[in-house]
């Protein structure tokens, strides 16, 4: 590969840091949003209904926008840009925008019309339950169009990412969080049914996100002129990749959906417990795992299109090392600090002590699977870059079946035993499915001969393991029981949580340095 096309490990790290930085802003605002939700709406019937109405288009967003679209559009876009130049890539963008837009419009129309049926599918426990069903169906008619706008936003973001403009797409979710916070604080009190403000806000945010990205497309001379061209070779190729990828890249979301279906049959509040805990687990996942996947997918696609197989393998291995370095301590930190995090962020108002304890259980169970979730985000792009979406489908089926069986069995068992929080079984099953998914993806890449390991992985694992022990020791030294956290004032909670996070992270990275790990060891071999 010539110097113009090559990118160093340092540049990849910088681009990943840019995406992580923008994602950090979004995730912080997301936490503020969830804090507002917890204080204003708690974990009761109304919040459960909204979360169902929000989950359906959000899940489909993961399918169409983040999963299938990334798997189908980005590799083909990279191929056109790499082999045919800007003009043909621009023509492909026009054809994809028109064809994909029509498909999205039809899906959105079906979703709005069939809202009651969709609620019945994803939350059967709402039927005959105090008006939850009707409220969720009504809100879904306003939230479902979000799928149309956010998928087109992802389309625009995919184009920008292919041209190396990662910052704008990473920043765009900030708009959603700002609009939702404003709706909860200022619009909700003005309505007869305050929770409806959140449904309206999701629609508004979808439109705003799309409009925000369009000027940046114009800057790179890629503003789409939509054309209905389903027979365009690139469009057909992308859709052939997208169809299986809708399932293969979104197993985690299907797992969450299935957990939600079962949770709707469990005690009131179970859906909310899983939501708040999932949001906290998604924080480090989005900050590092998704950031890595966002940056490496276009680059891996270019490497494969240019037949640079050695560089492809080296880049993939590099992303795995980075994921290992971050995901393991993040998972341990979430387990150890689950109660302090949830109490500090959410406790108060409608979010009482029992809700705290139930959410803590779910977060700890989800955290176990964070390493699996992270590696799925890192490994799946290696298949998509090679235009192989079938293998993730087969692997996804296995992981999905595992989640269904384990989730159903654990929920039934814990309920039959009178356990106060049977929802924890659902979170644990989702984590196990994620770990299984990651393991099978890894095995598939090794068998295909596209993943190579440089010497030193044994030392890396040993150093990371010892550094995590140092982090656990530091966190344990600062341990305070749940009763203290519940009785402490907000300022004391924030102070001690900050001290614990800084001390834990400091102990981890200092231990890595003492054990001989240096940044140079994470350079790509072809730098």
Give the residue carrying structure tokens 């204003």: 40
Classified as helix, coil or strand, 194 is coil
Q: Which two tokens stand for residue 443?
A: 């095995």
* Whole-model pTM over 0.85: no
**Residues 132 and 49: beta-carbon distance below 8 Å:** yes
Mean local confidence (pLDDT), 480-504: 93
Residues facing residue 348 across a β-bridge? 351
pLDDT tops 50 at residue 447 = yes
Neighbours of 329 (CB within 10 A): 23
Mean local confidence (pLDDT), 445-453: 86
Q: Which two tokens stand for residue 139?
A: 């809100």
pLDDT tops 50 at residue 4 = no
Classified as helix, coil or strand, 145 is coil
**Pick the residue with more confidence: 83 or 145?**
145
Share above pLDDT 90 across residues of the chain, in percent, rounded to a whole number: 39
Which span out of 151-155, 196-200, 270-274, 282-286 was modeled with the highest average pLDDT? 196-200
pLDDT tops 80 at residue 454 = no
**Pick the residue with more confidence: 239 or 66?**
239
Classified as helix, coil or strand, 221 is coil
Mean local confidence (pLDDT), 236-248: 74
pLDDT score at 392: 83
Mean local confidence (pLDDT), 223-240: 89
Q: What is the domain partition of the chain in residue ranges? A: 12-244, 250-456
Mean local confidence (pLDDT), 4-13: 56
pLDDT tops 80 at residue 465 = yes
pLDDT tops 50 at residue 444 = yes
Which span out of 83-97, 210-224, 266-280, 388-402 was modeled with the highest average pLDDT? 210-224
**Pick the residue with more confidence: 319 or 3?**
319
Report the C-alpha gap between 393 and 242 in whole angstroms. Answer: 11
Distances (CA, A) of 49 to 272, 286, 349, 458, 476: 10, 25, 19, 48, 39
pLDDT score at 114: 95
pLDDT score at 250: 57
Mean local confidence (pLDDT), 166-186: 91
Report the C-alpha gap between 123 and 393 in whole angstroms. Answer: 25
Mean local confidence (pLDDT), 33-51: 82
- The string of DSSP codes covering 320-346 is HHHHHHHHHHHHHHHHHTHHHHHHHHH
**Pick the residue with more confidence: 360 or 523?**
360
**Residues 355 and 43: beta-carbon distance below 8 Å:** yes
**Residues 114 and 121: beta-carbon distance below 8 Å:** no
pLDDT tops 50 at residue 5 = no
Mean local confidence (pLDDT), 458-472: 94
Which tens digit of pLDDT belongs to each residue from 71-107? 678 788 877 887 777 788 889 999 999 998 999 999 9
pLDDT tops 60 at residue 130 = no
**Pick the residue with more confidence: 139 or 310?**
139
Neighbours of 499 (CB within 10 A): 11
Average pLDDT, the chain: 85
pLDDT score at 311: 86
**Pick the residue with more confidence: 10 or 396?**
396
Q: How confident is the model at residue 438 (pLDDT cuts 50, 70, 90)?
A: very high
Share above pLDDT 70 across residues of the chain, in percent, rounded to a whole number: 90
As a dihedral over the C-alpha atoms of residue 248, residue 95, residue 290, residue 525, rounded to 10 degrees, the angle is 100
pLDDT score at 129: 56
pLDDT score at 246: 65
């Amino acid at each position: 590969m010539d110097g113009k096309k090559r990118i160093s490990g340092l540049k990849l790290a910088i681009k990943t840091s840019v995406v992580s930085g923008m994602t950090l802003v979004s995730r912080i605002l997301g936490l503020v949003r969830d804090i507002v939700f917890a204080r204003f709406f708690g974990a009761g019937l109304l919040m459960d209904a909204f979360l169902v109405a929000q989950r359906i288009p959000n899940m489909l967003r993961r399918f169409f926008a983040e999963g299938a679209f990334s798997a189908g559009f980005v590799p083909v876009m990279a191929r056109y840009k790499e082999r045919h130049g800007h003009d043909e890539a621009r023509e492909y963008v026009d054809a994809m925008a028109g064809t994909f837009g029509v498909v999205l419009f039809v899906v959105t129309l079906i979703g709005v019309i069939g809202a009651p049926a969709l609620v019945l599918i994803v939350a059967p426990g709402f039927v005959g339950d105090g008006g939850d069903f009707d409220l969720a169906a009504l809100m879904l008619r306003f939230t479902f169009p979000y799928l149309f706008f956010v998928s087109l936003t992802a389309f625009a973001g995919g184009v920008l990412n292919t041209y190396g403009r990662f910052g704008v797409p990473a920043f765009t979710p900030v708009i959603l969080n700002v609009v939702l916070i404003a709706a909860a604080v200022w619009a909700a009190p003005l309505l007869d049914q305050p929770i409806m403000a959140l449904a309206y806000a999701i629609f508004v945010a979808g439109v705003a996100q799309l409009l925000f990205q369009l000027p940046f497309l114009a800057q790179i001379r890629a503003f789409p002129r939509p054309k209905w061209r389903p027979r365009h070779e690139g469009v057909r190729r992308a859709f052939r990749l997208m169809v299986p990828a809708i399932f293969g890249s979104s197993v985690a979301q299907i797992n969450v959906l299935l957990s939600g279906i079962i949770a709707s049959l469990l005690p009131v509040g179970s859906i909310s417990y899983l939501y708040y805990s999932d949001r906290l687990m998604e924080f480090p996942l989005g900050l590092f795992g998704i950031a890595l996947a966002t940056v490496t997918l276009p680059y891996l696609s270019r490497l494969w299109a240019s037949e640079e197989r050695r560089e492809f393998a080296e880049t993939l291995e590099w992303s795995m090392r980075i994921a290992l370095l971050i995901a393991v301590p993040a998972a341990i930190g979430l387990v150890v600090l689950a109660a302090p995090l949830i109490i500090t962020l959410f406790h108060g108002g409608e979010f009482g002590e029992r809700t705290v304890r139930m959410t803590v259980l779910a977060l700890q169970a989800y955290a176990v699977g964070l390493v699996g979730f992270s590696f799925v985000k890192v490994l799946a792009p290696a298949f998509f870059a090679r235009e192989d979406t079938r293998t993730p489908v087969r692997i996804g089926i296995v992981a999905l079946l595992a989640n269904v069986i384990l989730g159903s069995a654990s929920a039934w068992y814990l309920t039959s035993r009178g356990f106060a929080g049977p929802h924890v079984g659902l979170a644990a099953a989702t984590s196990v499915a994620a770990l299984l998914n990651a393991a099978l993806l890894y095995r598939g890449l090794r068998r295909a001969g596209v993943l190579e390991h440089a010497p030193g992985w044994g030392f890396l694992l040993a150093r990371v393991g010892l550094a995590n022990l140092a982090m656990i020791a530091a966190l344990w030294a600062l341990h305070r029981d749940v009763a203290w956290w519940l009785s402490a004032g907000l300022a004391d909670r924030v102070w001690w949580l900050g001290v614990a996070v800084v001390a834990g992270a400091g102990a981890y990275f200092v231990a890595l340095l003492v054990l001989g790990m240096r940044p140079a060891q994470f350079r790509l071999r072809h730098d």
